[in-house]
Amino acid sequence: MSTTTAETAAKSGLPERDRLLRLLQEYGIYAALLLLILVATGMDGSFLSAGNARVQLFQVSPALLVALGMALVIGTEGIDLSVGAVIALSAAVVPLYLGWGLGLALPIALLLGAVSGLVAGAMVAFARVQPIVATLSLMIGVRGLAELINGDSAKPVTDAALLDLGGNAFLGVPLMAWLTALAAVAVGLVVRRTTFGRQLVAVGDNPRASRLAGLPVRRVQVTVYVISGVLAALAGVLIVGHGAEADPANQGLDMELTAITAVVVGGTPLSGGRIRVLGTVAGALFMQLLTAVLTQHNVPVSYTQITEAAIICFAVYASRERGTR
């Protein structure tokens, strides 16, 4: 009715199918999340209970933290495969310094995550190595390093402060979920409201034009990998605290896939230039709840995997770049 001329023009220029896809890309993930919650509640009334919600929040928080960092990296047209290995590195170093208290162990873990991100960022920005390969070599090397530091066996963790951080709740919501929400708001504000956020999106959209326009392209690239590394390291500490053990050989495995999936399903295009923070939150929640529902109803793991694969494909298909045909 009261559509502006610009909108009308845009609409008339788009075929029907593309308009649908555009809508799907814009709001699809929220609709899907809502639908999933409704269906799950319909099948099992206790799905919406406080207890179940808390369990799901514990599960999703570390993955979402990692996904937020991944969203920034993907926004610059990069990808970070090293996040799972950084989680393992956290798990390896935290027990070493817990004797001095969490106050020392946590900063050291975060610092190492930053160093790993710095290496990845330097390889991408200065040596112009493809992000996939740069972070792939870190993924192999850093996990090896973590296992090297840790030795063969998983270590039980008994530090009260860390167990509280990983297991306690405030106002009925897990501490780690508060922390993750804080991180999500911070990342959202950075993307929306800061110069750095604008630069980041510009770099992802067109690195060459950004460089010519005088943006600090390399600094932006290094910074996103550092942020991704720090968030992954924090996720690692939370995972150790929640599980009450440090197991670098197994913790954080496949986390890079989980995070990339959350970002992609949330509508952030892999080609960079656009970041959807709220979409990433919804994407992470959607994948977590989907897995939970399928597991709860005794669907075999294999079908869960196939379902996830199909959803990833569909999400990417819906959010791909539509060039002129």
Q: Which residues bind other proteins (CB under 8 A)?
A: 79, 123, 127-130, 132-134, 136-148, 152, 257, 260, 264, 270-271, 300-306, 308-310, 312-313, 316-317, 320-321, 323
CB 78, min distance to other proteins, A:
12
Q: 178 or 314: whose CB is closer to other proteins?
A: 314
Name the amino acid, one letter, at 111: L
> Residues 111, 114, 115, 116: what is their CA dihedral angle, to the nearest 10 degrees?
130
Q: Provide the token pair at 75.
A: 């926004």
Q: 127 or 171: whose CB is closer to other proteins?
A: 127
255 neighbors 66 (Cβ within 8 angstroms): yes
CB 306, min distance to other proteins, A:
4
What lies within 8 Å, CB to CB, of 116 at 6+ separation is 82, 85, 86, 89, 138, 142, 229, 233
Give the C-alpha separation, 151 to 230, whole Å: 24
Q: 153 or 168: whose CB is closer to other proteins?
A: 153
Q: 142 or 165: whose CB is closer to other proteins?
A: 142
CB 209, min distance to other proteins, A:
18
Q: 186 or 313: whose CB is closer to other proteins?
A: 313
CB 76, min distance to other proteins, A:
15
> Residues 17, 259, 110, 142: what is their CA dihedral angle, to the nearest 10 degrees?
-120
What does the buried/exposed string (b/e) look like for 192-203 if buried means 16 or more CB atoms within 10 Å of the residue's CB? eeeebbebbbbb
CB 89, min distance to other proteins, A:
11
